[in-house]
Amino acid sequence: MPTAIVCAFSPVGHEALAGLLEAGFDIKALYTYPQHPGEAWFTPPADLAASRGIPVRMEPDFNADSVYEAIRREAPDFIFSFYFREMIRQRVLDLPRLGAYNLHGSLLPAYRGRAPINWVLVKGEPETGITLHAMTAKPDDGDIIGQARLPIAWDETALSLTLRSAKAARALVRELAPALAAGTAPRTSQKALGPSTYFGGRKPEDGRLDFGAGLAETFNLVRAVADPWPNAFIETSAGRLQVAWALPSAEACPAGHFRSTGEGVLLGFRDGALRLHALRRNGERSERPTDHAAWLASLGVPEAP
């Protein structure tokens, strides 16, 4: 039975760990992070590990000497990184007898870097996927072992895409694990698949909406940071209004204005309008159009004539 050290977090990490267990791997330890209140929407991999009697370790510095020595003593066949938040140094990558492998939330070599699921939505991509690849000391580098492709629906959100990516990760890991253990897994150089693209991390402030932007660009940003992410927002001199959810509308509304209709409230952008479904202001969330109109007016957003 092949042995492994797993470094994992997020719903993708939970499902990928499940796939590895289903493939019959002996997990010597899980390195992970505490789950904060804002992350309560998913079951962390620590819960799965604990239910299987796998030691769960939460280290403030994964690359510390003490962690290196602990993994060295385990002498694992593999190290797997499933949505782990730290870069793993080369000396740790050199420890496993049969290699170290990382799961990335895009079709590498595209969308290397942080927050790939959010970024593909911001950019309006029609497709993304999950990639298992050999790890090097560089981020999202190394030969590709296998990929699973995922079409992106027009109204896909970061949450729905994350949950679908998690299911795909479980299946992909379960499928590829036997060949990895046997030393027969195929390897494809990322360079053979074309040029790479890289995107950095995202911050809540990146959700700022611009009334001068196009409707497609605006909606892509709204869905990329919809709940449980921090939400897109408009900023005025009188305060901030978070757009928790909105959908493109065929009805017209001037850019930078709002309009109340029989079906709700529209908010206008350069070439179209969003119909507002859920807003947040000062910690309060509302799906009521009367609130939406009142909140916009109080922030100085003009009502369309």
pLDDT in tens, 258-296: 999 988 999 999 999 999 999 999 999 999 999 999 999
Tell me, yes or no, whether 193 and 232 share the same domain: no
Domain that holds residue 272: 204-298
The number of folded domains in the chain is 2
Could you report the per-residue pLDDT of 215-253, keeping only the tens digit for each?
999 999 999 999 999 999 999 999 999 999 999 999 999
pTM above 0.85, yes or no: yes
What local confidence, expressed as pLDDT, does residue 31 receive? Answer: 98
Domain's final residue, options 178, 199, 220: 199
Tell me, yes or no, whether 22 and 127 share the same domain: yes
Domain's final residue, options 199, 232, 255: 199
The stretch 30-39 carries a mean pLDDT of 95
Domain membership flag for residue 305? no
Tell me, yes or no, whether 150 and 282 share the same domain: no
Residue 251 maps to which CATH number? Answer: 3.10.25.10
The stretch 60-83 carries a mean pLDDT of 97
Whether the pLDDT of residue 87 is over 90: the answer is yes
Domain membership flag for residue 304? no
Tell me, yes or no, whether 195 and 209 share the same domain: no
Domain membership flag for residue 303? no
Domain's final residue, options 134, 167, 199: 199
Burial of 136 (0-12, 13-18, 19+ CB in 10 A): middle
Tell me, yes or no, whether 153 and 290 share the same domain: no
Could you report the per-residue pLDDT of 91-133, keeping only the tens digit for each?
999 999 999 999 999 999 999 999 999 999 999 999 999 999 9
Amino acid (one-letter) located at 35: Q
Confidence at 35, pLDDT banded by 50, 70, 90:
very high
The stretch 79-99 carries a mean pLDDT of 97
Tell me, yes or no, whether 87 and 182 share the same domain: yes
What local confidence, expressed as pLDDT, does residue 262 receive? Answer: 87
